Amino acid sequence: MQKILIITDAWEPQVNGVVRTYQNTIHELEKNGKVVDVIHPYCVGFKRVKFPAYPEIELVINPWKMKQKIWVSLYEGWKIHIATEGPLGIYARMLLRKKEFTTCYHTQFPEFIQKRTKIPASVFYPFYRWFHNNARSTMVPTQTMCDMLISKGFTKVDVWSRGVDTKVFNPSRRNKPSHYIVCVSRVSKEKGLDDFCKLKGKKVLVGDGPYLNELRKKFPEVDFVGTKVGVELAELVANADVFVFPSQTDTFGIVILEAIACGTPVASYEQPGPIEVINLMYNGMYSGNLAHNVEACKLINRVEVFESSKKWSWKQSTKQFLEIIGE
């Protein structure tokens, strides 16, 4: 029986793509008879502090408390996967420097830091190469991101795609069609939400985060509905005319898959994640002009949008994950 230990700095009650990716993957792994354990910030024994810029994120300040668990897992033959580059991930990476493990690159942090500080992204890539290049594999969600990291000096990079839960996200949720555009995101500055809020027409923003109060003051006309999950989220997405994905730092965006599974076309910038999912004028539109992309999406056949989502499944995604970690 295969056993897998996942080490992640992002976990519930955080609501983001990283958490949802691993929750769905773990569900599929356990369905396949795998044993999965997760080391996360809310495990017993960890002390945490709030990350100053993002108080909803808590960082572990005593990651060495997991040392024995990792050594025992190695002795017992568990596969070890480091999900994030936070305190838990960094300590695990240092501990496992001569052992076998895999990692994942979820967010373009060098580019995000550059946007926030104007410090060139190239300054930060040495750290990320150090973190990932000793791994058996660094997983990324798209081939475009794979090619980009290889061009930055990363080695052993593999594509681990994403999926969507069609039991929740599907066209049947479109029960009250209304003329609005929707964005689902963690509400922080790096997500490009100002660009969404500046678009014309009725706008609904789903999510919470440290930038919410400032955004509300700047754009009082936007309908901020807070965090939504499950069927309630699916209905908001399905009943919209267009789903807008304004981020230029995410490596993928599971919300894009959830939108097309509902039959809602996606407008985005030309970025690694969206261009792997969006077929121009078939299930969405991307370019440097977000407002143009939104208007173009209103002309798209929603049935075709839904059809395009069928190749994205958590079953296939989990199969890739297992192939990469080595069964």
* pLDDT tens by residue, 127-173: 999 999 999 999 999 898 999 999 999 999 999 999 999 999 999 99
Sheet containing 242-245: give its strands across: 223-226, 203-206, 181-184, 242-245, 266-268, 284-286
In which band, very low, low, confident or very high, does the pLDDT at 33 lie, cut at 50, 70 and 90? Answer: very high
Q: Do 119 and 267 have their domain in common?
A: no
E-strand spans in 162-230?
181-184, 203-206, 223-226
pLDDT at 108: 80
Q: Do 97 and 59 have their domain in common?
A: yes
pLDDT at 54: 73
Report residue 106: phi and psi, to 5°.
Answer: -95, -30
Q: Do 131 and 189 have their domain in common?
A: no
Amino acid identity of 191? K
Q: Residue 44 has what DSSP assignment? A: T
Q: Do 186 and 219 have their domain in common?
A: yes
pTM above 0.85, yes or no: yes
Q: Do 157 and 196 have their domain in common?
A: no
In which band, very low, low, confident or very high, does the pLDDT at 327 lie, cut at 50, 70 and 90? Answer: low
Which residue range is the domain that position 292 belongs to?
A: 171-311
Half-sphere exposure of 85 (CA within 13 A, CB side): 18
Q: Bridge-partner residues for 203, per DSSP?
A: 181
Q: Do 182 and 137 have their domain in common?
A: no
Quick one: CA dihedral 52, 20, 287, 262, positive or negative?
Answer: negative
Give me the CATH number covering residue 87.
3.40.50.2000
Number of domains in the chain: 2
Q: Do 37 and 141 have their domain in common?
A: yes
Cβ atoms < 10 Å from Cβ of 118: 7
Q: Do 8 and 146 have their domain in common?
A: yes
Q: Do 62 and 111 have their domain in common?
A: yes
Q: Do 249 and 305 have their domain in common?
A: yes
**Sole residue written with tokens 């955080």:** 14
In which band, very low, low, confident or very high, does the pLDDT at 312 lie, cut at 50, 70 and 90? Answer: very high
- Measure the CA–CA gap between 301 and 171, rounded to whole angstroms: 12
- pLDDT tens across 186-243, in order? 998 889 999 999 999 999 999 998 899 999 999 999 999 999 999 999 999 999 999 9
pLDDT at 55: 76
Q: Do 90 and 194 have their domain in common?
A: no
pLDDT at 120: 87
Q: Do 295 and 215 have their domain in common?
A: yes
Poorest-pLDDT segment among 67-71, 99-103, 207-211: 207-211
Q: Which residues contact 187 (CB under 8 A, 6 or more apart)?
A: 193, 205, 207, 208, 209, 210, 211, 212, 215
Q: Which residues of 217-249 are buried (b: 16+ CB within 10 A; e: fewer)?
A: eebeebebbeebeeeebbbbbbbbbbbbbbbbb
Specify whether the CB–CB gap between 139 and 128 falls below 8 A.
Answer: no
